[in-house]
A and B are shown apart, each in its own frame.
Chain A
């Protein structure tokens, strides 16, 4: 828990207007001795190739982001239960996406085709049913709920298999207008509920060396989801639905594994009109001054802080905001950085630092660009003097 910076508090005040939010609940078993390392890769790929692109596509529609990234030692059935039960939907246009990567199991007498999730522990009495998560989220009143479990659907553990053949695809942090529209269509063109899992009853979910993700080992389900997302703009269509996406994934994985792994899903959706774009406003100086007068001993957790900063930067790069206001805010926000602070730009794949800038250069670039869609804050280090280190990933326009 960290003390919130005075300027960031203004974002919470602004946020009190309750814009719609996309809630990400990711539960990933990154410490298991058998699957931990490939799940670490799965997490990186999922965030880099899927989550960030969805956030970038929904930002112009006025969607804020709330990320619950539970992994490592924080993962537990109790934590999952708490996060799912306590999740609050503040707008009927909210979207919830639940994504689990880890071990799974099913009971022989189970009527549901969907598995139970081990959540990083071994007590079978504590497993969390995917169906339970689906039912919980369905009752929250969000516009769209997507519940996905990437795990085995029998009692076997994940094991490495032979190499499928695909072309190499390094992450490109650029998105075309067509891809953005397809993602907006997917997430906003329907209302209702989706449940999916990576294997049919009694099947295991496999991890492979994935050539198109630099031969790293990760689960084939997440790799296929992200691969389809990477290729989205090449699809000869102007719209995409969850059923089409999940069926394509199922067919592809079934083919690649010779029928040993066949993902399943159900969709309960009705068509909806995609709302028009909104421009998120940069905070005004008066708001900032007002915020600093308020007792600022609020404490927030890292996820909230990173999401809030992402929101600030995404508003800053929006070309629909007047340039003078963007530049003014950039100069104001520069004061939140410590002397000699450094901003590092991280590659979409993995954690290569592809560029470094001082805060003035970074903020000035954001304030004057019309080429950046979304800025994800990957990590932040604070001190009494302000932001010492900032790690970001940028998604740019392709055209």
Chain B
């Protein structure tokens, strides 16, 4: 009986160990990393559109609403596994050429801010997918991994046709990958998390 129990325990342990290492499969990892970059690319496209004054305010809000859904808990309160506490929502670090400090604001507020920027026109462009740097996914709980995607974002603000502010910021977005074990096999869900500003410099 004891032997059977030991055998069962070791089989269970082995199974758990093997399945928890699924993201180490090069093929699976590659596909998940691609998905993470696609989501970040989508985010950047939405940010660019939500600040674009060629759209009216209602239209810019569509982009903001869609952007929220790319993030963990749709930018609302969630349990942060790494911080081991409940937090009010994902955050975005905001920088300026004219300010040394980095401001951290809730992503949902950042999007509203982008929709209502006071410039007469805004142009935001970001690195294409091929240029993004993706880290190796790291396990943070039994069925959750995290990786980061790094890219550059250029911002130009215009007033009456004249560029009055320009900068380029290197940003890093956290991407959470949840694994759901189903009868048909493992399924993955990719959601974006907090975004850090690594460096800001003038953009010529």
Spell out A's residues near B (CB within 8 Å): 168, 170-174, 214, 323-324, 327, 344-345, 347-350, 352-357, 361, 364-365, 367-371, 394, 396-399
B117 within 8 A of A: no
- Across the interface, name the chain B residue whose C-beta is closest to A360: B69
Question: Apart from A355-B39, A368-B66, A371-B38, what 11 extra A-B contacts exist at CB < 8 Å?
Answer: A173-B38, A324-B58, A347-B31, A348-B31, A349-B27, A355-B189, A356-B188, A356-B189, A365-B66, A371-B42, A396-B38
- Across the interface, name the chain A residue whose C-beta is closest to B39: A355
Give, as a whole number of angstroms, the nearest-CB distance from B67 to chain A: 8
Give, as a whole number of angstroms, the nearest-CB distance from A359 to chain B: 12
Give, as a whole number of angstroms, the nearest-CB distance from B186 to chain A: 8
Give, as a whole number of angstroms, the nearest-CB distance from A191 to chain B: 34
A399 near B130 with CB under 8 A, answer yes
Give, as a whole number of angstroms, the nearest-CB distance from A194 to chain B: 32
- Across the interface, name the chain B residue whose C-beta is closest to A365: B66
B58 cross-chain contacts in A, Cβ below 8 A: 324
- Across the interface, name the chain A residue whose C-beta is closest to B130: A398
A361 to B128 CA separation, bound complex (whole angstroms):
23
CB < 8 Å neighbour of A364 from B30, B35, B69, B190? B69
B63 within 8 A of A: yes
B66 near A364 with CB under 8 A, answer yes
- How many residues of chain B are within 8 Å of chain A by beta carbon? 35
A354 to B186 CA separation, bound complex (whole angstroms):
9
CB < 8 Å neighbour of A368 from B28, B62, B180, B187? B62
B49 near A354 with CB under 8 A, answer no
Per-residue CB proximity of B1-40 to A under 8 Å, as 1/0? 0000000000000000000000000111011101100110
- Across the interface, name the chain B residue whose C-beta is closest to A176: B130
Give, as a whole number of angstroms, the nearest-CB distance from B145 to chain A: 13
A275 to B34 CA separation, bound complex (whole angstroms):
32
B69 cross-chain contacts in A, Cβ below 8 A: 357, 361, 364-365
A355 cross-chain contacts in B, Cβ below 8 A: 35, 39, 188-190
A398 to B128 CA separation, bound complex (whole angstroms):
7
Give, as a whole number of angstroms, the nearest-CB distance from B46 to chain A: 6
B45 within 8 A of A: yes
A369 to B157 CA separation, bound complex (whole angstroms):
22
A354 near B188 with CB under 8 A, answer yes
A242 to B187 CA separation, bound complex (whole angstroms):
39
Give, as a whole number of angstroms, the nearest-CB distance from B86 to chain A: 23
11 A-B residue pairs with Cβ-Cβ distance under 8 Å, sorted by A, are A173-B38, A174-B129, A214-B27, A323-B59, A327-B62, A347-B31, A352-B28, A354-B188, A356-B187, A368-B67, A369-B45
Give, as a whole number of angstroms, the nearest-CB distance from A17 to chain B: 28
A324 cross-chain contacts in B, Cβ below 8 A: 58-59
A370 to B30 CA separation, bound complex (whole angstroms):
23
CB < 8 Å neighbour of A353 from B49, B63, B130, B187? B187
B65 within 8 A of A: yes
CB < 8 Å neighbour of A396 from B41, B55, B66, B189? B41
Spell out B's residues near A (CB within 8 Å): 26-28, 30-32, 34-35, 38-39, 41-42, 45-46, 49, 55, 58-59, 62-63, 65-67, 69-70, 128-130, 180, 185-190
B45 cross-chain contacts in A, Cβ below 8 A: 369-371
Give, as a whole number of angstroms, the nearest-CB distance from A393 to chain B: 11
Give, as a whole number of angstroms, the nearest-CB distance from A175 to chain B: 11
- Across the interface, name the chain A residue whose C-beta is closest to B182: A353
A348 cross-chain contacts in B, Cβ below 8 A: 31
A170 to B59 CA separation, bound complex (whole angstroms):
37
B42 near A365 with CB under 8 A, answer yes
B130 cross-chain contacts in A, Cβ below 8 A: 174, 398-399
B67 cross-chain contacts in A, Cβ below 8 A: 368
CB < 8 Å neighbour of B32 from A327, A354, A370? A354
A168 to B35 CA separation, bound complex (whole angstroms):
19
B27 near A368 with CB under 8 A, answer no
Given contacts A323-B55, A369-B45, A371-B45, A350 and B188 within 8 Å (CB-CB): no
B190 near A350 with CB under 8 A, answer no
- Across the interface, name the chain B residue whose C-beta is closest to A326: B62
Closest 10 CB pairs of A and B: A353-B187, A368-B66, A347-B31, A354-B35, A170-B30, A399-B128, A361-B69, A364-B66, A323-B59, A371-B45
A361 cross-chain contacts in B, Cβ below 8 A: 69
CB < 8 Å neighbour of A349 from B31, B42, B186? B31
- Across the interface, name the chain B residue whose C-beta is closest to A327: B62
A349 cross-chain contacts in B, Cβ below 8 A: 27, 31
A171 cross-chain contacts in B, Cβ below 8 A: 31
A350 near B27 with CB under 8 A, answer yes
Give, as a whole number of angstroms, the nearest-CB distance from B6 to chain A: 34
Give, as a whole number of angstroms, the nearest-CB distance from B114 to chain A: 14
Interface centre among A214, A347, A354, A365 (most CB of B within 10 A): A354
B41 near A368 with CB under 8 A, answer no
A394 near B38 with CB under 8 A, answer yes
- Across the interface, name the chain B residue whose C-beta is closest to A348: B31
A171 to B55 CA separation, bound complex (whole angstroms):
35
A384 to B166 CA separation, bound complex (whole angstroms):
55
B65 near A398 with CB under 8 A, answer no
Give, as a whole number of angstroms, the nearest-CB distance from A391 to chain B: 11
